[in-house]
Amino acid sequence: MAGLEPIIQKIQLRPISLPLVRPFTTAMHTVTAADAVQVDVLLTNGTVGHGAGTPNAVVTGDTMSTLQENLQTQVIPALIGRDIRDWNSLLTLLHASTSEQPAIAAVELALYDLRAKQVSIPLTALLGGQQRTVTTDMTIGIQALPDMVSEAKAFVSRGFKALKIKIGGGRLADDLERVKTIAKAAGPDIRLRLDANQAWTTDQAKVAVTELAALQLPIDFIEQPVAARNHEGLATLTAMRQLPIMADESVFGFQDALALLSRHAVNHINIKLMKTGGLAEAAKIDAACASFGVTTMVGCMIESNLSLVPAIAFAAVHDNVTFTDLDAVYMVKKQQAGIQTHGPQLTIGDPMHDA
């Protein structure tokens, strides 16, 4: 089949559900498995590209059933018969086919896999770099404080140098106690990252930021302290200059990022491929952030390795990415192929080519 044109012949879907080691709870919801839809794109020359999309009802507004339906009825019909060498037009068609970002991401990641395979280079090289290792933090979900402390100690013993602590959804006094107790258990050399997942109003967040800053702990940032659309609140908290503020749910695409950057509303932005719809939009967001002097973090939902591998590749080759939060690799009971782990280090081989 080597002489055939690289035309999209078939796109197949397969649901995935990977049970977690333990339930993972945030201020918004609890997750018990890494659910995803695997997408396999087959070309007429026999090459197959793999990707995956992970739904999240409270962030991206979709479920496994709506994601699969969207792919079947809107995305796949728009792409069958298209030549992947017409790359820009193909991505334009894909992004115009639906507004559901995980569906776009699932297919776009498979297309990037195909493109790398067509020219026989790793995905990292296709993205413009050679580095294949990143260092991630580890997230501690909301649970009983003794369990959170136990997890913190275990993660530190495994070599993690940064812990992300989920807060919000209850009393501020409880959040302060969580942060203080975990910080003491982890030790003074461990960086802390706090994620409120939109839990507070602006006034509540102002009090929380002030009291958290007063603890004088090694806190890198507070992530999404207010509602996603509350840009004014983010700007107010950033202007306080007490703790760095990171946007997560506020930023899905380039225009979202630009709206915050233009008013200097945040110090950092969390890029997730399931929010951006894949690598192309993620690159635009990161470039915009760099131009404003705002650094980025590459994060994830509770995902499978099919989408975590390209997220690692993206984080590894973009210099403006300062933080990495790709700890879903460790959250599933059964280790998956494609990513090697050594403490907090995540290494990809020849990205997605062994899939």
- For 86, the token pair is 């017409």
Rounded to whole angstroms, the Cα distance separating 81 from 93 reads 12
Active site annotation includes 272: yes
Q: How many CB atoms lie under 10 A from the CB of residue 208? A: 23
State the Cα–Cα distance between residues 253 and 242, nearest whole angstrom.
27
CA-to-CA distance for 311 and 299, rounded, in angstroms? Answer: 8
Question: Beta-strand (E) ranges in the chain?
Answer: 8-25, 30-43, 48-53, 133-135, 138-140, 162-166, 191-195, 219-223, 245-247, 268-271, 295-298, 321-324, 339-342, 345-348
What are the CA-CA distances from residue 69 to residues 37, 108, 158 (Å)?
11, 17, 41
Structure tokens at 167: 């807060």
Q: Is 223 annotated as a binding residue?
A: yes
Token match 């060498």: residue? 85
- Side-chain-side CA neighbours of 296 within 13 Å: the count stands at 29
How many angstroms separate the CA atoms of 103 and 56, rounded?
A: 12
Length, in residues, of the chain: 355
Q: Which two tokens stand for residue 278?
A: 């894949």
Known binding residue 175? Answer is no
**Are the CB atoms for 206 and 181 separated by under 8 Å?**
no
Is 333 among the residues known to form the active site? no
Determine which one of 117, 164, 206, 272 is catalytic: 272
Residue 249 is assigned to a ligand binding site: no
Catalytic residue among 164, 166, 206, 275: 166
DSSP 226: B
- Residue in this structure with the two tokens 């794109």, named with its chain if needed: 41
Annotated binding site for Mg(2+): 195, 223, 248
Active site amino acids: 166, 272
